[in-house]
Structure 1
Amino acid sequence: MTKIANYLLLEKEDDLVTIRMTAELQDDVGTIGYIDFTKEEHLAKEDVILNLEASKTVMEIVSPIAGRIVKINHAASDTPTLLNSEKATENWLCVLADVDATEFDALEDA
């Protein structure tokens, strides 16, 4: 099941939620040159997932849901342009566990 919020796609598979930027957000920010992921292990709703610098903007990407971070796309830290990729295997930001099902279900369907 895929939801959308804050120009992010949230894909739920089993008990894990993968967060990635929408194609629209990728276009809006331009080529990403630098990212800095949060060092936190848990995200509350509206917590910063990462800071990014791109050709068109500098911004924070915030989480639309709360959860425990179980995986971060560290390859994107070394090669930030991976977040501009169309490939889902490259452009993901993080994976969350312990996401409240009601909170997830309340998000807009993609």
Structure 2
Amino acid sequence: MIKIANQLWIEAGEVIDNEVIYTIGLTPDLQDEAGEISYASIADLGEIIEDETILNLEASKAAIEIPAPFNAVIIERNEAAETSTNLLDSESKTDNWIVKVKSVDSTVFDQLENFKA
């Protein structure tokens, strides 16, 4: 199931040690708003609180700070996207993801809007 919040798509994925792992990436709307991305700074591993900055972008149309859609623990970052920012311009979720997180309140996730690609 894929949801949307703060112009990010959020996909519930595999379960590891009884915890759902969620992948978060850029929606086409955010990509269109930003334009060609030239710089990206992704939040560090560890706890992130709702509304803290999860991603800073500098792009041809705008500089954008994206807030975290919920409280979570970042367990993986797409470090390749920070050095090869063209990955974030991709339509592919295997390229334009930014973080993988756990410790998400499933009730909060379930209440998010469904993503329609």
The reply to whether TM is greater than 0.5 is yes
Q: How many pairs were matched up?
A: 110
Moved over 3 A (4+): none
Q: What amino acid maps onto 2:7 in structure 1?
A: Y
Q: Which amino acid aligns with 2:50?
A: K
The TM-score with structure 2 as length reference comes to: 0.89
SS at match of 1:70: strand
What does residue range 39-54 of structure 1 map to in structure 2 within 5 Å?
Answer: 39=44, 41-54=46-59
**Residue type at the aligned position of 2:3:** K
State the identity as a percent. 41
TM-score, with normalisation over the residues of structure 1? 0.95
**Over the residues paired in the alignment, what is the CA RMSD in angstroms?**
1.0
Q: In the TM superposition, what are the counterparts of 1:86-101 in structure 2 within 5 Å?
A: 86-101=91-106
Q: Among 77, 80, 87, which residue is 2:85 paired with?
A: 80
Q: Aligned-pair distance for 1:40? A: 5.1
* Residue number in structure 2 paired with 1:2: 2
Distance in 1 between residues matched to 2:46 and 2:98, nearest whole Å? 14
Unaligned 5+ segments in structure 2 are none
